[in-house]
Amino acid sequence: MSLLADLLTIVGVGAGAFFFLAGTVGLLRFPDTLTRLHALTKADNLGLGLIVLGLLPRAGLSGGLKLIVIWALVLLASSSASQLIARVAHRGERER
């Protein structure tokens, strides 16, 4: 059981870290603002989700609940924030 939990932690956290790497690469390499934005939000939502998943077995009940709330908040925030940023970027391009 504990082995299984440890395995979940290692896989989850490792994969999460990888997605953060992917998000960074996307932010730096992708050609224009909107594609960068897409890549970024996908990657960091997924990355944080996987890390939270990996940490769940080690966090206890109330701690785990908090972790999930945090993830949900980040999902909410980043989707709205990216929409807002996208609007600004879109308008900026039209004006240019």
Partner 1 sequence: MSLLFDIVLSLIVVALAVRVIVAEDGFAAVVSFAAYGLLVALAWVRLYAADVSLTEVAISGGLAGMLLIGAASRLRAIDARAAAQRSGRGVRLFAALLSCGVAGGLGLAVLALPDPAPSLAEAAVANLPPTGVGNPVTAVLMAFRATDTLLETVVVVLALVGVWSLAPDRLWGGRPGAREHADPNGPLAFLARVLPPIGVVVAVYLLWAGASEPGGAFQGGAILAATWLLVIMAGLSDAPATHGHGLRWLLVAGPLLFLAVGFAGIWLADAFLAYPTDWAKALIVAVEVAKLLSVAAALGLLLLGPPRRIDTP
Partner 2 sequence: MNGFLLFAGSLVLAFVALGLRRVLRGPGDADRMMAVLLLGSGGIAALLLQGVATGMPGVIDVALSLALLAAFASIAFAKAAERAPDEAPGETS
Answer yes or no whether residue 70 interacts with partner 1 by CB under 8 A: no
Smallest gap from Cβ 88 to partner 2, in A, equals: 5
Instruction: Choose the contact partner of 29 out of partner 1, partner 2, none; CB within 5 to 8 A by kind.
Output: none
d(CA 86, CA 71) in angstroms, rounded, equals 22
Q: Does 84 bind partner 1 (CB under 8 A)?
A: yes
Binding site for partner 2 (CB under 8 A): 6, 9-10, 13-14, 16-17, 20-21, 23-24, 27-28, 33, 36-37, 40-41, 44-45, 47-48, 51-52, 55, 58-59, 63, 66-67, 69-71, 73-74, 76-78, 80-82, 84-89, 91-92
